[in-house]
Structure 1
């Protein structure tokens, strides 16, 4: 297919494990439905699944554990409050994020982040996600949420970042003395997670993307002071109002605006709102 005369190709990935779980049927049955006879136009049977050897249903996409051999455990009430505040910030700002992304993109940014935080609140309320105070459990759950409940470029960015953050936390905990402050461990792991994310995206500061907040926030958070880093994140989000887009769909419509009237980048602003909640 083409996009504005740019040759490209498209791959669509379908989460059969999650769908089977939601529908209450085995994975192989979901795959059989794809190959069922149909009168739908433009739906050729180009692939036949080998059900006899299929073992995908025995391997869920993400396995969430309630306990870990090493962990960061914080005050459960504080963890619960910060997660809820971050979610509340997104829910409150979602209409604006959607408005800004409708002007400068494809309009899905607000709902994408909102879907993620609503799933997080569901896990808190129904599964007691924060009750143990386990940071690893929360990050692990967020990885699953980004895989199953979020979409778009932002969902992919969050998925890569939080998966890398989980692995970095485990590695950092194993390498640091047991009395290392939790804030220091998280800060160090965040630096590693950002480095992993940057391998997968060309976006950098100044491109008017989510990275315009994530990069300066992580840099400011190196010493573990999230309050200071949150102020940096807010300033960075405000700064996207003065940036012309260099990546993404916003590049197509930037000529309609002047540098003085651009709305903030919705992805960057959404990350800033999440950070403010965690710092509260």
Structure 2
């Protein structure tokens, strides 16, 4: 549906180039930083191994200065940028990890926000890096009060930046990976964030995402342009601050005589005058509650483009960690979010990628069972049928997806189908493990969106299950199915019953397991029946994970698009296999 509102004006060259142009601007302002343009990665320039742990973060663009603006000594060693409000692809995350590990042999600690796309794409990068012998670990940050009751936890907000500062300081002091991770866990448990917005934002080249009446505000707004969880009448600064802090303090059980650090995050369009007023009201509120304010920071930390609004994050300082927490926050840093400083000195040198990094993290090929020629043809024909059917059902899947997302499930699966058909023109089907791995790479590069991350993870895990098997039988394929599902649940955070594609896969897995020994035609029929029933059942489920869980149930009409998508391609593939028997 076309919006009747005009496109918002922005000083950019084009919506397509704005992310890359922004990153070029970052390294123009701070030449001590290194841009790896093809991978949208910004790092500290290094020539030698530091021997310590490197801190990496990243995510969608549109939250500036997060995360590239926080790259510098004492904070992040690197940042990887996705599209506007979109997770960076796995390949770019993997590149960033590989680059940092090359110069930081203590390992790479990755801090990422609790968003499905980031969990999936960063998760697969972790697995690929580990398989190549890279020491890497990650921590998912989700301190948002507004979404803390979600099954997968709260969203990551500006509290991430406090972790950048404290982890960066620990890394500079020589703490090892385990020590930093242990401290991150303590910090995260003592942190909470909540905010409000007075207006929405707009993606480059688009109109505002939603409307707020002049006398209203939204409590619990997110940093991806999301509206809040509650619409309220406009209040004074004192009243808004009290409303937010009441909920933040309750979330972390902060009491009189506790010591805290406060951060005020400008969501992009709030004036300095307003921010200063908010700071004063925070101090007055905490003084009244006899809560000791040790530090307060204010500025643009993790914006939502030009959204007019702000967030308040409180970090409680446990008595046993108070001294260390403050030392880490006060430690020197060279990050470029402040005007001037050592990062502003002119430096020569090209901004280039090291194209050798990813060559060492490719999967070993030619492993697992070998298919005879007839089975190779059957696998090829099944994929062709599945891909063709996905392309045909674009409109249906987009319609099912429109109530809880941006209505693009059909588009992403169509893209997957088209890429598979192209792949079939020259692919070898001798090793099914290789085929599934190739499909996972296609999902990663050609699908896009959260669906691409989910399919890529599932297929790569299924490929690994096949690669470690020696026989091409039903038990092997059941093992692959279970392996794929486990990976999706581990990194996606969803489980069967949460109204996702897992509900179709789980129904198939149960029937497959129960009827493993029946004749092949009966098995195929029962699997297809289970898939159709699994997709149909999602129409009656409450969404408890993924994007659908963030919207009211009244917007969820019909089956889950992802679950129906699985049922569609599976039915086409099974029908083809039946024809070969």
What TM-score results when the alignment is normalised by the length of structure 1? 0.71
How far is the alpha carbon of 1:95 from its aligned partner? Answer: 0.5
Q: Is the 8 A contact 2:368 2:431 kept in 1?
A: no
Listed as ranges, the matches of 1:56-205 within 5 Å are 56-57=355-356, 59-60=358-359, 63=362, 68-74=366-372, 75-125=375-425, 127=426, 129=427, 132-173=429-470, 180-205=471-496
Q: Deviations over 1:78-135 (max 9, x none)?
A: 122211111122111111101111123211111111111110100112x1x25x4431
Q: Is the 8 A contact 2:437 2:460 kept in 1?
A: yes
CA distance in 2 between partners of 1:264 and 1:104 (Å): 11
The aligned counterpart of 2:558 is: 263
1:277 to 542, 547, 572: 572
How far is the alpha carbon of 1:254 from its aligned partner? Answer: 3.6
What's the RMSD between the two structures over aligned residues? Answer: 3.2
**Using a 3 Å threshold, how does the CA distance of structure 1 residues 169 and 250 change in structure 2: closer, same or farther?**
same
**Using a 3 Å threshold, how does the CA distance of structure 1 residues 123 and 99 change in structure 2: closer, same or farther?**
same
**Using a 3 Å threshold, how does the CA distance of structure 1 residues 55 and 218 change in structure 2: closer, same or farther?**
same
**Using a 3 Å threshold, how does the CA distance of structure 1 residues 61 and 206 change in structure 2: closer, same or farther?**
farther
Bigger relative contact order, structure 1 or 2 (CA pairs below 8 A, ≥6 apart): 1
**Using a 3 Å threshold, how does the CA distance of structure 1 residues 253 and 200 change in structure 2: closer, same or farther?**
closer
Unaligned runs of 5+ in 1: 1-8, 18-41, 174-179
Considering only CA atoms, is the larger Rg found in Structure 1 or Structure 2?
2
What TM-score results when the alignment is normalised by the length of structure 2? 0.36
CA distance in 2 between partners of 1:254 and 1:118 (Å): 33
CA distance in 2 between partners of 1:273 and 1:279 (Å): 10
Higher strand share: 2
Q: Secondary structure at the match of 1:191?
A: helix
Q: Secondary structure at the match of 2:466?
A: helix
Q: Does 1:235 align with 2:533?
A: yes
Q: Deviations over 1:34-67 (max 9, x none)?
A: xxxxxxxx9xx989998699533463598588x6
Q: Is the 8 A contact 2:366 2:431 kept in 1?
A: no
The aligned counterpart of 2:504 is: 213
How far is the alpha carbon of 1:76 from its aligned partner? Answer: 2.7
Higher helix share: 1
CA distance in 2 between partners of 1:50 and 1:153 (Å): 36
CA distance in 1 between partners of 2:389 and 2:505 (Å): 17
CA distance in 2 between partners of 1:136 and 1:254 (Å): 41
Unaligned runs of 5+ in 2: 1-65, 68-80, 83-87, 94-304, 306-335, 338-342, 518-522, 576-581
How far is the alpha carbon of 1:137 from its aligned partner? Answer: 2.7
CA distance in 1 between partners of 2:530 and 2:414 (Å): 23
CA distance in 2 between partners of 1:49 and 1:78 (Å): 57
How far is the alpha carbon of 1:181 from its aligned partner? Answer: 4.4
CA distance in 2 between partners of 1:57 and 1:193 (Å): 29
